[in-house]
Amino acid sequence: MDKKKKDVPLIILKSLEKFVALNGKQFEVIDSENFLLKIIEKDDEPTFYFNIEKYEPKNGVVISTKPKSETQQGEHRALISVTQLETQIDTWLNLVAQYKATHSFYDDPIVKAFSDEYFADFEIIEEDVTPLTTKQILFLDEYLEYLDNNIDTHKTEENGQAIESIKQDISSLRKNLTTKSKSVIARGFANIWGKLTKLGTEFIINFTSEAKRELVKQSVKGVKKLAAFAIDAVISNM
């Protein structure tokens, strides 16, 4: 993160202190040149955010958030006092949690079921905020590159849109390898595999076989006994 602690007024830091331990668990802090703080929901496709735009000692804190409330899902911008900041963040976190917990017709229960099954295989808790090592990053990027380069060979008029969605997920996950925690990366792989599995058995055989998933799982977990020659062997036979 480029912004330093001493770049932010102490009164703001004190107001945010109780939320520091939640970073990487309930939300993620994103670098921002324009704002004092930019927070996004912890999600594979984040759309909700809480921004602390600026602090004016005479007036208060300018915030912008999404969603605004239970009845309005759009952006909300407001000038509040510093004493209201903690309550505003708590309210936003509660709204985001309710969105995640509420079942809807817009969810894909099949993909979610497969994704949850794959994520459980990683045996990583959602709260794990430790990063990947450089060796893990390089191997996982190679596997994702393989997926991206070969998935098009199975593209048809029927599954074209779904494959394009998966390729976007692959691109996003590759960018996240160096910046996100193990749990976020594991969830990213699980979601990609879930979408591939829904496309049919040929995708399971070619891209999400147990051997390939096991190698990725062990790499994310950082199992030291995973030998380099084994990685090369699997990649070369993909």
Q: Is 117 found in the same domain as 219?
A: yes
Distance (Å) of CA 57 to CA 14, 62, 180: 15, 11, 34
Q: Is 222 found in the same domain as 116?
A: yes
Q: What is the mean pLDDT of the chain?
A: 87
Q: Is 188 found in the same domain as 152?
A: yes
Choice among 8-12, 104-108, 143-147, 226-230 with the minimum mean pLDDT: 226-230
Q: Is 133 found in the same domain as 93?
A: no
What pLDDT does 181 receive?
Answer: 85
Q: Is 115 found in the same domain as 202?
A: yes
Q: Is 95 found in the same domain as 64?
A: yes
For the chain, the distance separating the N- and C-terminal CA atoms, rounded to the nearest angstrom, is: 37
**Separation of alpha carbons 21 and 53, rounded Å:** 21
DSSP E strands in 57-192: the ranges are 60-66, 76-80
Mean pLDDT value of segment 96-110: 90
**Separation of alpha carbons 152 and 67, rounded Å:** 36
Domain hosting 121: range is 109-236
How many domains does the chain divide into? 2
Mean pLDDT value of segment 218-233: 52
119-160 per-position pLDDT tens digit = 888 877 666 778 888 988 998 999 999 899 999 999 999 999
Mean pLDDT value of segment 178-202: 91
18-37 per-position pLDDT tens digit = 999 999 888 999 888 889 99
Sign of CA dihedral 103, 105, 106, 107: positive
Q: Is 175 found in the same domain as 80?
A: no
What pLDDT does 183 receive?
Answer: 85
Helix, strand, coil percentages, rounded to 5, for the chain: 55, 15, 30
What pLDDT does 24 receive?
Answer: 83
Q: Is 228 found in the same domain as 113?
A: yes
Binning pLDDT at 50, 70 and 90, where does residue 234 land?
A: very low
What pLDDT does 121 receive?
Answer: 86
Q: Is 136 found in the same domain as 40?
A: no
Q: Is 134 found in the same domain as 82?
A: no
60-72 per-position pLDDT tens digit = 999 999 999 999 9
Q: Is 214 found in the same domain as 170?
A: yes
